[in-house]
Amino acid sequence: MTEHLEPGSIQSAGASPAVAEELLGVIQGVEGVSAVYPAQPLWQSIAGAAMAAVTGEILPLVSVTGDGDALAVKARIGVGTLRPAPSVAREVAGAVRTHLLPRDAAVEVYVVKVGP
Amino acid sequence: MNTPEDSLDCGHSLAELSTYLDTGEIADPAHLHSCPECQAGLASLRRLSQLGSELLTSDLADAGSGHDDWMQSILDNLRLELRPGRSIPLQAGNPKDTLWETEGSISALIRSVADALPGTAAGKCRLHGDVTTPGAGITVDVEIAVVYGHPLDERAEELRRELAQTLAFQTELNIETINITVRDVLEPPSAADQVPSPPTSPAPTTREDQP
């Protein structure tokens, strides 16, 4: 399912795949990010796993929830060895925040892998 | 069927990952691209395989299976350390943001640094202390096994130095102490220890544990 949303029209995680896809590109573009992993692993989300099994739909790697004025973004990333992981995590959060302007956002970033 | 103790949080086991390395077969190969714990497990198993090859090409080839216990110990620790573990907070650039490193990612990093040294494999890799509190003093405990012929003191000191640099670069942890314990040395039997044996019997293995 592809749904194009105008800025400010985001209602929930399920209704914001376009924004999640945009943010995936933003995060992958940060120097030092080697991988982006599912923000909510399927085995932690029975409902998500069941839906994916039935529909075959791939859930967004980046989680985006909230309304149009205040978003919550969660991402799990892998970081290479050439740049400090804490700096990369901060740059990811900053890049997400900048991309979503003028909307406000709370960004949660997990570094789940450090290395090649 | 895997027991919960055998499985990673994603449900896969080290046995399944090992089979995948051997045969290329696993029930859901796409999962491996989205699971950092499985990727870390595969990397560790590949390094163990390389070390095993080194052992098999040494004089230990005829020395029986004395390193089986040591290998089993490493695999037991891998099962624990491949889990995400505790969340280690990082300083955020914006007060609304929350940034973390998982304990599992740092354990895997420590393990990769140790395994990268020639003739060395990491056993237990532990972070002691409250990693969830910024600035709390942390002690790193690493147990390694070293193939006979590699200098133990130099290897331990080199590892301590590299871990200090790597953890200072890749974390915000306040590392107070790094303890390196050479847990196993795999060495061939000396001539004096060898007992004449029938041609069909394997030579005994000498295995030393150092505290």
Confidence at residue A53, expressed as pLDDT on a 0 to 100 scale: 57
Q: Which CATH superfamily is domain A13-114 in?
A: Cation efflux protein, cytoplasmic domain (3.30.70.1350)
Contacting residues of B for A105, CB less than 8 Å apart: 96
Confidence at residue B68, expressed as pLDDT on a 0 to 100 scale: 60
Q: Tell me the torsion sign for CA atoms B66, B70, B71, B76.
A: positive
Q: Does B7 touch chain A (CB under 8 A)?
A: no
Nearest to A111 among B34, B101, B112 (CB): B101
Confidence at residue A78, expressed as pLDDT on a 0 to 100 scale: 94
Q: Give the span between the Cα atoms of A77 and B60, in whole angstroms.
A: 41
Confidence at residue B209, expressed as pLDDT on a 0 to 100 scale: 32
Confidence at residue B36, expressed as pLDDT on a 0 to 100 scale: 87
- For chain A, the helix, strand and coil percentages under 3-state DSSP, each to the nearest 5: 40, 25, 35
Residue B173 has pLDDT above 80, yes or no: yes
Domains of chain B are 14-189 (3.30.70.1350)
Q: Quote the mean pLDDT of chain A.
A: 79
Residues B182-203 have pLDDT tens digits of 888 866 445 444 444 444 333 3
What are the residue ranges spanned by the domains of chain A?
13-114
Q: Say whether B34 and A86 touch across the interface (CB within 8 A).
A: no
Lowest mean per-residue pLDDT among A17-21, A46-50, A95-99, B53-57: A46-50
Q: Say whether A105 and B106 touch across the interface (CB within 8 A).
A: no
Q: Which candidate in A24, A103, A111 is best for mutational testing of the B interface (most B CBs within 10 A)?
A: A111
Residues B62-103 have pLDDT tens digits of 444 445 666 766 776 676 667 788 999 999 999 999 999 999
Confidence at residue B58, expressed as pLDDT on a 0 to 100 scale: 52
CB-count burial class (<10 Å; 0-12, 13-18, 19+) for B64: middle
Confidence at residue A56, expressed as pLDDT on a 0 to 100 scale: 61
**pLDDT higher at B165 or A43:** B165
What is the band of A42 on the pLDDT scale with cuts at 50, 70, 90? low
- Provide the b/e sequence for A69-96 (b: ≥16 CB within 10 Å): eebebbbbbbbbbebbbbbbbbbbbbbb
Contacting residues of A for B171, CB less than 8 Å apart: 85-86
Residue B122 has pLDDT above 60, yes or no: yes
Q: Say whether A93 and B97 touch across the interface (CB within 8 A).
A: yes
Q: Say whether B96 and A111 touch across the interface (CB within 8 A).
A: no
Q: Say whether B84 and A107 touch across the interface (CB within 8 A).
A: no
Confidence at residue A13, expressed as pLDDT on a 0 to 100 scale: 43
Residues B132-167 have pLDDT tens digits of 999 999 999 999 888 888 788 888 999 999 999 999
Q: Name the interface residues of A facing B (CB cutoff 8 Å).
A: 35, 37-38, 41, 43, 61, 76, 78-79, 81, 84-86, 89-90, 93-94, 97, 104-115
Confidence at residue B8, expressed as pLDDT on a 0 to 100 scale: 79
Q: Report the predicted TM-score, pTM, of the whole model to 2 decimal places.
A: 0.74
Contacting residues of B for A115, CB less than 8 Å apart: 43, 108-109, 112
